[in-house]
């Protein structure tokens, strides 16, 4: 099997450690490009070859981890149509198809796990695109992440990343409510954070309920009905108590108030 020739464009906070993982992989020939000289020098020291521009990359696969859709388009404009373009940046759902409209080979492959996951190779990589292109890129992707999934046709990786990050940032907003409530109750926010991280590592956090393959209502004789009915009962009790405490302390908790009547229905119970 020929050694894959891979180009990596965008050596920022996440792209740099991703590229370093590729540089450390024996059977990958890596070329890199970035407008900043320092990360390029670091990658060259790690065994990669520097290219003077995107157009100078002589590779089979170009991985792109830049800031936004416009930067992705600018990179794509200089990549030959027969080169497989792998977009790791989180872009609009229609951007990958737009770039593929002229016959270009494209995969959208956004990542989850942040800089830490990029550094230790534990990223989740969600890929949209043709089966053949996914198969061609898979050895490269598996050098950077330990959870590589083919989400479906082109654009599916981006849609999955957006669904995943909806959880992430709505949860962050809920955390700010909890912090305000805890602060008003004279609690130590740092200690609360330690408790949250500890218990989420045990229970799986919000992802702990994500085992069903549908969001349809659950039949009463379904195994998950009993499980999620228990979740709903606990959740409604605890959310009710938290909202009551917030009222007592004069703390605004709009997400908690929205969640209370929506929890059971969202779980598929009614």
Q: How far apart, in whole angstroms, are the C-alpha atoms of residue 153 and residue 171?
A: 28
Structure tokens at 241: 């108590």
Residue 248: CB atoms within 10 Å: 10
Strand 111-112 versus strand 123-128 pairing type? antiparallel
Q: Long-range contacts made by residues 109-115, C-beta under 8 angstroms, separation at least 24?
A: 109/137, 109/141, 109/157, 110/157, 110/158, 110/160, 110/161, 111/14, 111/18, 111/144, 111/145, 111/161, 112/161, 112/164, 112/165, 113/145, 114/14, 115/13, 115/14, 115/17
Q: How far apart, in whole angstroms, are the C-alpha atoms of residue 54 and residue 189?
A: 47
Return the biggest CA–CA distance within the chain.
Answer: 68
* Catalytic residue (choose from 147, 161, 237, 265): 161
Residue 244: CB atoms within 10 Å: 10
DSSP secondary structure code for residue 268 in this structure? T
DSSP secondary structure code for residue 209 in this structure? G
Could you confirm whether 265 is annotated as catalytic? no
Note the helical H segments in the chain.
15-23, 37-45, 69-77, 95-100, 114-120, 131-142, 156-184, 189-203, 223-249, 254-266
Residues acting as catalytic residues: 161
């Amino acid at each position: 099997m020929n050694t894959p020739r891979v180009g990596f464009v965008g050596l920022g906070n996440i792209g740099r450690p991703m590229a370093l993982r590729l540089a450390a992989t024996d059977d990958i020939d890596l070329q890199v490009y970035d407008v900043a000289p320092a990360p390029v020098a670091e990658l060259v020291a790690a065994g990669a070859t520097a290219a003077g521009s995107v157009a100078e990359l002589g590779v089979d696969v170009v991985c792109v981890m830049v800031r936004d859709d416009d930067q992705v388009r600018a990179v794509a404009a200089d990549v030959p149509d027969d080169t497989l373009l792998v977009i790791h940046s989180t872009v609009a759902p229609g951007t990958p198809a737009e770039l593929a409209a002229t016959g270009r080979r494209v995969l959208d492959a956004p990542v989850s796990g942040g800089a830490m996951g990029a550094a230790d190779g534990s990223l989740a990589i969600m890929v949209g695109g043709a089966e053949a292109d996914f198969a061609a890129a898979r050895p490269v992707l598996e050098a950077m992440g330990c959870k590589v999934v083919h989400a479906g046709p082109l654009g599916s990786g981006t849609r999955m990343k957006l669904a995943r990050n909806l959880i992430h940032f709505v949860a962050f907003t809920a955390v700010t409510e909890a912090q305000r409530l805890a602060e008003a109750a004279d609690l130590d926010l740092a200690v609360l954070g330690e408790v949250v991280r500890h218990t989420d590592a045990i229970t799986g956090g919000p992802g702990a309920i994500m085992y069903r393959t549908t969001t349809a209502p659950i039949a009463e004789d379904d195994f998950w009905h009993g499980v999620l009915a228990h979740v709903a009962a606990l959740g409604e009790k605890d959310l009710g108590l938290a909202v009551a405490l917030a009222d007592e302390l004069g703390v605004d908790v709009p997400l908690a108030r929205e969640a209370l009547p929506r929890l059971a229905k969202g779980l598929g119970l009614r």
